[in-house]
Amino acid sequence: MKILTRLTTIVLLNFVFIASTYAQTKKQTIVYTDIDNFWVAFDSVQTTTDSLKQLNIFQRLYVDKGTPGLKAFMQAKGYTTAAWLDCIRNYPKYWASIRPKTLKIKEVNKELDPYIAKFKKTYPAFKPGNIYFTIGAMRSGGTTQDDKVLIGAELATGDPEVDISELPANTQNWLKTYFGTYPFKDVVLLNMHEFVHTQQKGRANTLLTQTILEGTADFVAELVTGKVPAMAYMTYGKQHETELKNKFKEEMFLDSYGNWLYNGASNEFGVADLGYYMGYAICKHYYQQAKDKKAVVKELIELDYSSDESIEKFLIKTGYFKEGFNKAELLKSYESKKPRVTNLGSLTNGDKSVDASLAEMTIYFSKPMLKNRMSINLGEGGEENFPIKKSLGFAEDGKSIKFQMELKPNHQYNFVITGRGFRSVDGYPLVELPVSFKTK
């Protein structure tokens, strides 16, 4: 669920092991075949240095033999044979250290029986599904598709012993934190979270809807297991709920999740995935006020998550925001707090007689900006009309940034300064600005 800002370990239940047939049944099933096939393919790839032969070997021994779960995982995460081979070639220490852990995943079956029984008791309309353990290309620890729960065991079974030294620095930082929580020890809890998703219908458009969807999964998993995720968002959320509540209310109707979900710790709070906590807190508040607890669980799981209007009505019903809220006013207030580009220094947007010797452009902002984020996209003219060579960095106060340009005479240029990258220190995305000019 973006490598991942929130990895999930997924294992499930009253399992019947299936090695060669994958027909849907009314029983809970678990399939490990892809893990075994992966390591056969992995070892076979090592027998040659010919890249084309490696590609053919891996395709034949792993991808072509893949279960329906592997096919679904490939579709969901955009996996290709080439992507797997890149990971295998670049991170040999990682694979050597994670291998024995992926093979231990078959041992967890017996731990789950009492919890799946409790899940069925908590939610009698529970629908069985199929669980597929696979080895992915290090993009996701787990996800779901329809009634399938899909695991990337190369991430989901990690712990601090895994050698991550060959991975990119940003990935190392995240995995060091994540593996430090020993996610495999919470396999039952994390399974229940993902399994809730297989019972839900629809997917979100707004931040509010997506947080309720994820929060429901965390909350129902807690009802079943008596535990909450050993993640920073849960600890921080409980300690700072009032502060988070006010900020979340301001952004909950946006169609952007950047500050709250699947985002890493690069937000004003310095904690990833706080939207999970907000959704959990809303669901738990509603549950605690209700007399018929079982009815609330059913309602939460069966909400129409494809309808933002339905989720907004549900939020009102929960009474989580006692003071109420006005959607139009919240959106207007949020827009008013976004930073804007105030000018482009010696360059004027729309100018049709710019001197081609101009070598630099400075973008000035109405607010101090985060210095580790920026994004300028190609304009409608594509690369041919893109003038920027490289960033020369932010000013000390964060209110401007300078870029090196390379211009030709009598040429049209355009680009877009986007809010997807530029963000103010107080957490608001930049108002997007298309820029266009022509040299003399």
Are the beta carbons of 103 and 42 closer than 8 angstroms? no
Q: What is the residue whose two structure tokens read 């597929």?
A: 132
Percent above pLDDT 70 for the chain: 93
pLDDT at 183: 77
CB contact set of 168 (below 8 Å; sequence gap of 6+) = none
Domain spans of the chain, in order of start = 1-198, 200-336, 341-438
d(CA 111, CA 257): 35
d(CA 274, CA 233): 5
DSSP state letter for 279 = H
Of 248, 324, 312, nearest to 281 (Cα)? 248
Q: What is the residue whose two structure tokens read 């190392």?
A: 172
User: How does residue 6 score in pLDDT terms, banded at 50, 70 and 90?
Assistant: very low
- Average pLDDT of the segment spanning 367-371: 93
- Average pLDDT of the segment spanning 272-297: 96
Are the beta carbons of 157 and 105 closer than 8 angstroms? yes
The helix/strand/coil state of 413 is: strand
Question: Residue 150: beta bridge partners?
Answer: 132, 143
Residue 178 Cα to chain centre, angstroms: 14
Q: Give tens-digit pLDDT for 234-271.
A: 999 999 999 999 999 999 998 888 789 887 766 778 88
Q: Give tens-digit pLDDT for 8-45.
A: 333 333 333 233 333 333 466 778 899 999 999 999 99
60 has pLDDT over 90: yes
Of 287, 24, 33, 282, nearest to 135 (Cα)? 33
Are the beta carbons of 5 and 267 closer than 8 angstroms? no
Q: What's the CATH number for 341-438? A: 2.60.40.3780
299 has pLDDT over 90: yes
Residue 157 neighbours by CB distance under 10 Å? 27
pLDDT at 143: 80
Q: E-strand spans in 91-193?
A: 130-134, 142-145, 148-152
Q: Is the pTM of this model over 0.85?
A: no
Q: Give tens-digit pLDDT for 306-359.
A: 999 999 999 999 999 999 899 999 999 999 999 999 999 999 999 999 999 999
Instruction: Select the more confidently predicted residue: 177 or 296.
Output: 296
Residue 393 neighbours by CB distance under 10 Å? 12
CB contact set of 381 (below 8 Å; sequence gap of 6+) = 412, 413, 414
pLDDT at 114: 85
d(CA 75, CA 71): 6
Are the beta carbons of 301 and 216 closer than 8 angstroms? yes
Q: Give tens-digit pLDDT for 69-86.
A: 999 999 989 999 999 999
- 140-149, 196-205, 227-236, 418-427: which has the highest mean pLDDT? 227-236
The DSSP bridge pattern shows strands 376-378 and 388-394 to be: unpaired
Exposed, middle or buried: residue 310 (CB in 10 Å: 0-12, 13-18, 19+)?
A: middle
